[in-house]
Structure 1
Amino acid sequence: MSRLFRALALVLLAASCGGGSGDSPRNLDNACSIVSERPEYLRAFKATERKWGVPVHVQMATIYQESKFRADARTPFRYAAGVIPIGRQSSAYGYSQALDGTWEEYVRDQGKRTARRDRIRDATDFMGWYMAESQNRLGISKGDARNQYLAYHEGRSGYARGSYRSKSWLMRVAGEVDQRSIMYAQQLRSC
């Protein structure tokens, strides 16, 4: 019986690691390095900027915060009694960490039945769609990385209620997204 338990524990441990592909660009602190290493990212960012008006550096800073540019990023597992996996913290997945329900809304609204969250072009288009709608509904400039991130993280209703104000950690993170956006913008000007 203990051999079976050990085998089961080993399988669960291996599954929780996700077997990730390690596909993040090497230097995430340098926008020029990211787009040089992954030219398809820059093409996706620019297509989204043309279509939705969300600046490349805002997209990049948000993706950095959400997934560190990992196509297969997921939220961590939750555990019962500290050891038994009972599911993930949320359905967030992919570059943009879009939740199932929000992604499905995007797919319906944009008629993109084949869109995938682990495809950079689809993930950036989703972010552009979401941020453009945040500007329409909430008046947040598409270039305002801090407030766009707060609306992205909390949802538009949560942002409108000001739910982020009681979360000092989230306010700090939104400030970091804003600073990274500024840094990426400066770097992209010199590529």
Structure 2
Amino acid sequence: MALNLKLSTLGVVLLLLSACTTAPPKNINNVCHIYDEYYDWFLASDEVYKRWQVPQHVTMAFIHQESKFVGDARPPWQWFMWIIPLGRPSSAFGYAQALDGTWEEYMRQTGNWGADRDDFEDAVDFIGWYNHKSLIRNKINPHDAYSLYLAYHEGQGGFSRGTYKNKPWLLKVAKKVERRSRFYQQQLQGCRAELEDDRYWRSIFGKNETKSVDFHS
């Protein structure tokens, strides 16, 4: 009887936790729609720009590529002969698909010890932190989403050694991130003023609709 009660309680807790998970935006291809649905994401990515000098359209393009805005995203399991599970290819997790070791380094260097990879605010700050390292070490322009993504994937040392040059698949992905970044930048030109004008009221009372240029992938 006691065991059944404990199992029932555990089930309720797990159900509540799953209900608290933030669902991906309804239209991940339009950054204005994303910010309209989750205005706190606009505020978070704006803080990243102020703190790390990484533009919002670059940060959001990274999130789109890494997780499609799924907070608990992980790499898929690998299988041998479609039968024997081999585990996941890496420890990547969350919006930014940050690895265990890199996330620990981020927490240590920023002092953000309570950071969670499935928390959007923490994830975008991580992306800003890492890309800022690329700006400093590899002298990459903050608007250069293509080079920033290559450094994000290969690491600072790998980027400086050019390890990405022998990975044509990665170059294609980086080009995709670059295209997404440009589209997001174009969309933001049509809604940024309204987002800024409504900053006070939206933070208190919720969202309003914003005008935007649609983008279909």
TM-score range, shorter chain: 0.7 to 0.9
SS at match of 2:169: helix
Question: Take 1:131 and 1:145, find their aligned partners in 2: how far apart are those partners?
Answer: 10
- Find the counterpart in structure 1 of residue 158 from structure 2: 158
The yes-or-no answer on 1:62 pairing with 2:62 is: yes
**Whole-angstrom CA distance in 2 between matches of 1:184 and 1:41:** 14
| 1:53 to 2:53 alignment | yes
Deviating more after overlay: 73-82 vs 179-188: 73-82
The aligned residue for residue 43 of structure 1 is 43
Structure 2 residue 79 is the aligned partner of structure 1 residue 79: yes
In structure 2, what is the equivalent of residue 16 of structure 1?
none
Deviations 1:69-111 (A, max 9, x none): 1111101111133222221111000001000010000001111
1:147 and 2:147 are equivalent in the alignment: yes
Return the alpha-carbon distance in structure 1 between the equivalents of residues 62 and 29 of structure 2: 13
Is the contact made by 2:158 and 2:164 (CA closer than 8 Å) also made in structure 1?
yes
1:169 aligns with 2:161: no
* Structure 2 letter corresponding to 1:178: E
Amino acid at match of 1:34: I
Quote the Cα distance in structure 1 between the aligned partners of 2:97 and 2:76: 12
Runs (5+) with no aligned partner, structure 2: 1-17, 192-217
* Cα distance in 1 between the residues matched to 2:129 and 2:181: 19
8 Å Cα contact 2:151-2:158 kept in structure 1: yes
| Matched residue type, 2:87 | G
Secondary structure at 2:69 match in 1: coil
Higher-Rg member (1/2):
2
Shift of 1:22: 7.9
How far off is 1:116 after superposition? 0.5
The aligned residue for residue 121 of structure 1 is: 121
Provide the residue aligned with 1:132 in structure 2: 132
> How much does 1:34 deviate?
0.7
- Between the aligned partners of 1:127 and 1:102, the Cα distance in structure 2 is 11
TM score, norm. by length of structure 2: 0.77
Hey, what's the Cα distance between the residues in 1 that align with 2:84 and 2:46?
43
C-alpha distance in 2 between matches for 1:26 and 1:155: 32
For residues 25-45 of structure 1, what are the alpha-carbon distances to aligned partners after superposition, in whole Å with 9 as ceiling and x for unaligned? 111111111110111211110
Q: TM-score, normalised by structure 1?
A: 0.87
Q: Indicate conservation of the 8 Å contact 2:52/2:129, yes or no.
A: yes
CA contact 2:22–2:71 (8 Å) conserved in 1: no
How far apart in 1 are the matches of 2:112 and 2:31? 29
Please give the alpha-carbon distance, in whole angstroms, between the structure 2 residues aligned to 1:156 and 1:23: 32
CA distance in 2, matches of 1:71, 1:139: 30
SS in 2 for 1:190: helix
Q: Which runs of 4+ in 1 moved over 3 A?
A: 19-22
